[in-house]
Chains A and B, each alone.
Chain A
């Protein structure tokens, strides 16, 4: 089934984007391989959070520099992504341990029941790492959009001042924001539908504090927060970097 989908995807991308489509396909494949390597390395027992950070940096390098070339525009997008990654990581680290978001809930007992729990590997760290990797896709997307649009503004109006450029970056970002929030909401909503079907007899007060619900909603909110934070940060970095004389 998935082989056929891969093939269809390849030909569609080829049809739409020609050589760039092929590049898109392979960068997608590469991201997929990165995620699998990430899982394998965790399986070998390396630290989940450090691994996640490395994977995020690699993924940003691939989709920023490999797909969009090396220029001031892409450098500022990359720096913005790194800054947001650090902030998101700090928020997750503080909340993750206190809220005990690692592990599985009752609904997974059937699946995980076949396994031994004795793996000596902290699931809270796995969860924090997983969140970081989930967030990275959308912040890269927004960061590139903001910095390339700002570059466009600068090219059309080379005498623009720092503050004006920053403002136009924020404006562009605000325009992108509504569709980004929408995209993320729907990408993550189907788990909630299943969740509420399963727990239809559970009281609201226990649901709100339930581990799996917290896991899902923290993922949703942290991707939102990341994709908002990236806007001022990339605008700021781009407005300084793009205007720097060669």
Chain B
């Protein structure tokens, strides 16, 4: 990458970060910048952990009462399970009384700057390290985000009429076509990856669907996060299963189809048997790391709740059964899906890549 472009990128990044540190005018909710904190230990005899009272003074940074000094009180305890410890120089959202002289409650800490900093690091790294390919990745990433937002808004506005599972089945096929197409261009390699992904997704999802229908009666679906807002909560659970492994399925499909494509290009006379053989060798390497990624990335989200239960003297097995069972089902369904994707995309890739070659002759 050219030096000039790198400098431009860094300047833009720094401007973004400075901006988000001073973006008070964007918000309607009053923000207070904390200038001074006085921490005191609060005495509650019966408790194991320490409780603190923070006497906070700060300045209002936006709105009608901008510039006014104001005081407030915040409570927190060591575990921070519910509530925040407020640090000096941080910004907090507050609710003011109608005359603007007092704070009636603290709403939230201003966290947008941390998100923006991480986001800027992500974009900078991907462009600096992967160059043009990085930009392609970003385009595919942002189009996925845009589709996701579209699906969420569409569903939120019509949640009584739309079947959430059907919606996301359609959306996931769009995801597959678009992201494989953007990152790999128009070629038969991409085509075979797209078809393999779609077939593998439908196959593995139907298998999970049937298994959950038959054996899933013991599943405690009500324990799932966010479940009580969804009308057809069973379908929401299926959507989670569907989406979780979608990226992994695409990953395997494109890896297999591009490596087979490579083999055919290098040796046009390679037999079907040999292709299948080398394909199997390649796939053995991917599946292990892929299911490990699924496990570490998805299953860990149960940790806080399970830990809280254990700390409350619930036996470990019971806590895992109660609060981690569903997540495990989602992960395992997708591991099965990942394993299924391998033979599916092997056969489809060979079929498409090999057939075309014959037609060309």
Instruction: Produce 1/0 per residue, B78-103, CB < 8 A to A.
Output: 11111111110010010000000000
Task: Say yes or no: B335 contacts A28, CB within 8 Å.
Answer: yes
The verdict on B107 contacting chain A, using a C-beta distance below 8 Å, is yes
Which chain B residues border A21 with CB–CB below 8 Å? 284, 287
Contact of B303 among A39, A110, A148 (CB under 8 A): A39
Q: Is the interface of B mostly helix, strand, loop or mixed?
A: helix
The verdict on A108 contacting chain B, using a C-beta distance below 8 Å, is yes
Instruction: Produce 1/0 per residue, B98-137, CB < 8 A to A.
Output: 0000000001111110110111011001100111011011
The verdict on B63 contacting chain A, using a C-beta distance below 8 Å, is no
Task: Say yes or no: A16 contacts B121, CB within 8 Å.
Answer: no
Roughly how many angstroms separate A225 CA and B85 CA in the complex, as a whole number? 27
Roughly how many angstroms separate A101 CA and B258 CA in the complex, as a whole number? 41
Distance between A193 CB and nearest chain B CB, rounded to angstroms: 6
Task: Say yes or no: B49 contacts A141, CB within 8 Å.
Answer: no
Roughly how many angstroms separate A21 CA and B312 CA in the complex, as a whole number? 39
Contact of B310 among A12, A39, A63 (CB under 8 A): A39
Which chain A residues border B83 with CB–CB below 8 Å? 103
Roughly how many angstroms separate A21 CA and B284 CA in the complex, as a whole number? 7
Distance between B49 CB and nearest chain A CB, rounded to angstroms: 4
Distance between B25 CB and nearest chain A CB, rounded to angstroms: 12
Task: Say yes or no: A118 contacts B140, CB within 8 Å.
Answer: no
The verdict on B274 contacting chain A, using a C-beta distance below 8 Å, is no
Which chain B residues border A17 with CB–CB below 8 Å? 284, 287-288
The verdict on A221 contacting chain B, using a C-beta distance below 8 Å, is yes
Task: Say yes or no: A31 contacts B48, CB within 8 Å.
Answer: no
The verdict on A83 contacting chain B, using a C-beta distance below 8 Å, is no
Roughly how many angstroms separate A217 CA and B5 CA in the complex, as a whole number? 28
Task: Say yes or no: A197 contacts B247, CB within 8 Å.
Answer: no
Task: Say yes or no: A123 contacts B316, CB within 8 Å.
Answer: no
The chain B residue with its CB closest to the CB of A217 is B115
Known: A141-B290, A181-B137, A228-B125. A122 touches B78 (CB 8 A): yes
Roughly how many angstroms separate A201 CA and B137 CA in the complex, as a whole number? 32
Q: Which of B302-361 contact A (CB under 8 A)?
A: 303-312, 316, 320, 323, 325, 328-329, 332-333, 335-336, 339-340, 342-343
Roughly how many angstroms separate A123 CA and B240 CA in the complex, as a whole number? 26
Task: Say yes or no: B236 contacts A100, CB within 8 Å.
Answer: no
The verdict on A133 contacting chain B, using a C-beta distance below 8 Å, is yes
The verdict on A98 contacting chain B, using a C-beta distance below 8 Å, is yes
Of the listed stretches A155-163, A208-216, A237-245, chain B binds A208-216
Which chain B residues border A138 with CB–CB below 8 Å? 293, 296-297
Which chain B residues border A80 with CB–CB below 8 Å? none
The verdict on A182 contacting chain B, using a C-beta distance below 8 Å, is yes
Which chain A residues border B290 with CB–CB below 8 Å? 141, 183
The chain B residue with its CB closest to the CB of A6 is B332
The chain A residue with its CB closest to the CB of B108 is A209
Distance between B300 CB and nearest chain A CB, rounded to angstroms: 5
Distance between A145 CB and nearest chain B CB, rounded to angstroms: 8
Contact of B320 among A36, A117, A129 (CB under 8 A): A36
Roughly how many angstroms separate A126 CA and B329 CA in the complex, as a whole number? 23
Distance between B134 CB and nearest chain A CB, rounded to angstroms: 7
Q: Is the interface of A mostly helix, strand, loop or mixed?
A: helix
Of the listed stretches B7-15, B64-72, B221-229, B263-271, chain A binds B221-229
Task: Say yes or no: B80 contacts A124, CB within 8 Å.
Answer: yes
Known: A32-B299, A59-B296, A225-B121. A5 touches B329 (CB 8 A): yes
The chain A residue with its CB closest to the CB of B294 is A187
Known: A20-B284, A35-B300, A140-B292. A182 touches B251 (CB 8 A): yes
Contact of A208 among B49, B112, B211, B255 (CB under 8 A): B112
Q: Which of A155-189 contact B (CB under 8 A)?
A: 170, 173-175, 177-189
The verdict on A111 contacting chain B, using a C-beta distance below 8 Å, is yes
Task: Say yes or no: A180 contacts B251, CB within 8 Å.
Answer: yes
The verdict on A93 contacting chain B, using a C-beta distance below 8 Å, is no
The verdict on A70 contacting chain B, using a C-beta distance below 8 Å, is no
Task: Say yes or no: A228 contacts B126, CB within 8 Å.
Answer: yes
Instruction: Produce 1/0 per residue, A124-145, CB < 8 A to B.
Output: 1011011001111110110011
The chain A residue with its CB closest to the CB of B310 is A43
Task: Say yes or no: A206 contacts B183, CB within 8 Å.
Answer: no
Known: A186-B243, A190-B243. A39 touches B305 (CB 8 A): no
Known: A119-B308, A122-B78. A214 touches B115 (CB 8 A): yes
Which chain A residues border B288 with CB–CB below 8 Å? 17, 20, 23-24, 27-28, 63, 67
Known: A186-B246, A225-B125. A24 touches B291 (CB 8 A): yes
Distance between A136 CB and nearest chain B CB, rounded to angstroms: 6
Chosen A-B contacts, 14 in total, with CB atoms closer than 8 Å, are A2-B332, A9-B339, A32-B295, A95-B118, A99-B111, A104-B305, A129-B303, A141-B290, A174-B133, A183-B248, A187-B293, A197-B155, A205-B26, A209-B112
Chain A interface (Cβ < 8 Å from any Cβ of B): 1-2, 4-6, 8-9, 12-13, 16-17, 20-21, 23-24, 27-28, 31-32, 35-36, 38-40, 42-43, 59, 63, 67, 91, 95, 97-100, 102-104, 107-112, 115-124, 126-127, 129-130, 133-138, 140-141, 144-145, 148, 170, 173-175, 177-198, 200, 203, 205-206, 208-211, 214, 217-219, 221-225, 228-229, 231-232
The 5 closest A-B pairs by CB, nearest first: A137-B296, A194-B226, A186-B247, A183-B247, A120-B49
